[in-house]
């Protein structure tokens, strides 16, 4: 007498492993991550090599070297959006949710995998870009070393902030279920809305804008906090809240709407 094989069990580890393999089998993942690293490194080294020591108005050294992360923000956001909205556009989401009927473990696993990949890539790129860029900045006001106060914290904080923005974009993709719409919402929220709000003649609005994603990213990246900026810890907390709100909205959408 033979015993029946035990039924397939959906466990968090298996869902996590599935999302990990799914991410790395997509060509867009490799292209996006490669472009992120190349742009950050290329812009950091290129700007530093061309810098003559004038015209930057006292810009923080780490922010100056990592100006390429402005493009990394968009690249990683697109990757996050494709991880959720992309599955709806291809119809793959039906197979995913059939395999994991409870749905929410898929969202948490996607967020965990993307956050880990984004943080590792950005941290590695930052730690490579900074010393290479500094080889051109030795005789300028932007000269600094990894051991200087706030530098390593800024490089690490930048990577953490970009990972949180990637998770926020993932949540927007799950809510809108459309790559173009989610991308437009992300760009509007991160790049356009804060600039529009700053035109309003109210001090409370200026204070609020400091906690919007773009300004919070700059505050987390800076080695030294400047006037009119928030502290790195508060800025990182603000980014974590943006990501949490986005994921909460995504979770509510997954539970209430059909695939």
**pLDDT at site 6:** 47
Question: Which has the higher per-residue pLDDT, 57 or 170?
Answer: 170
List pLDDT tens digits, range 6-26: 456 778 788 888 888 888 888
Mean pLDDT for 125-144 is: 91
Please check whether residue 5 lies inside any domain of the structure. no
**pLDDT at site 235:** 94
**pLDDT at site 155:** 96
Please check whether residue 258 lies inside any domain of the structure. no
Looking at the structure of the chain, the number of domains it has is 1
* Other Cβ atoms closer than 10 A to 91: 9
Question: Which has the higher per-residue pLDDT, 96 or 234?
Answer: 234
**pLDDT at site 57:** 57
Question: Which has the higher per-residue pLDDT, 96 or 109?
Answer: 109
**pLDDT at site 258:** 63
46 to 122, 133, 143, 144, 221: CA distances (angstroms): 18, 8, 15, 17, 19
Mean pLDDT for 211-234 is: 88
d(CA 217, CA 11): 35
**pLDDT at site 66:** 93
Please check whether residue 92 lies inside any domain of the structure. yes
**pLDDT at site 125:** 96
Give the model's confidence band at 197: pLDDT under 50 very low, under 70 low, under 90 confident, else very high. confident
Nearby residues of 114 by Cβ (< 8 Å), 6 or more positions away: 23, 79, 80, 83, 163, 166, 167, 170
Mean pLDDT, the chain, whole residue set: 88
Tokens found for residue 124:
């590695």
**pLDDT at site 1:** 46
Please check whether residue 1 lies inside any domain of the structure. no
Give the model's confidence band at 257: pLDDT under 50 very low, under 70 low, under 90 confident, else very high. confident
Give the model's confidence band at 255: pLDDT under 50 very low, under 70 low, under 90 confident, else very high. confident
Please check whether residue 3 lies inside any domain of the structure. no
List pLDDT tens digits, range 29-67: 899 999 999 999 999 999 999 887 765 557 889 999 999
d(CA 106, CA 108): 6
**pLDDT at site 172:** 96
Please check whether residue 121 lies inside any domain of the structure. yes
Asked whether 220 and 213 are in contact (CB, 8 A), the reply is no
**pLDDT at site 118:** 96
Please check whether residue 16 lies inside any domain of the structure. yes
Residue 187 predicted with pLDDT over 90:
yes
Please check whether residue 74 lies inside any domain of the structure. yes
- The whole domain housing 159 covers 12-253
Q: Is 207 exposed, middle or buried (0-12, 13-18, 19+ CB in 10 A)?
A: exposed
């Amino acid at each position: 007498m033979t015993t029946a094989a035990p039924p397939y069990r959906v466990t968090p580890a298996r869902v996590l492993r599935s999302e990990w393999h799914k991410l790395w089998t997509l060509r867009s993942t490799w292209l996006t991550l490669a472009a992120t690293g190349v742009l950050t490194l290329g812009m950091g080294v290129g700007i530093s090599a061309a810098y003559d020591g004038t015209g930057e108005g006292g810009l923080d050294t780490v922010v100056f070297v990592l100006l390429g992360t402005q493009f990394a923000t968009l690249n990683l956001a697109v990757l996050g959006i494709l991880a959720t909205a992309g599955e709806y556009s291809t119809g793959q989401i039906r197979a995913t949710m059939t395999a994991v009927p409870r749905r929410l473990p898929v969202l948490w696993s996607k967020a965990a995998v993307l956050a880990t990949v984004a943080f590792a890539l950005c941290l590695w790129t930052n730690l490579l870009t900074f010393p290479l860029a500094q080889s051109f900045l030795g005789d300028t006001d932007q000269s600094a070393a990894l051991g200087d106060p706030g530098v390593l914290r800024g490089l690490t904080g930048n990577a953490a902030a970009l990972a949180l923005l990637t998770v926020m974009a993932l949540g927007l993709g799950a809510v809108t279920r459309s790559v173009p719409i989610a991308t437009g919402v992300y760009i509007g929220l991160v790049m356009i809305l804060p600039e529009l709000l700053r035109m309003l003649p109210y001090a409370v609005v200026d204070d609020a804008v400091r906690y919007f994603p773009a300004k919070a990213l700059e505050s987390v990246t800076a080695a030294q906090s400047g006037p009119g900026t928030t502290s790195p810890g508060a800025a990182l907390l603000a980014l974590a809240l943006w990501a949490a709100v986005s994921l909460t909205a995504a979770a509510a959408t997954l539970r209430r709407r059909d695939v």
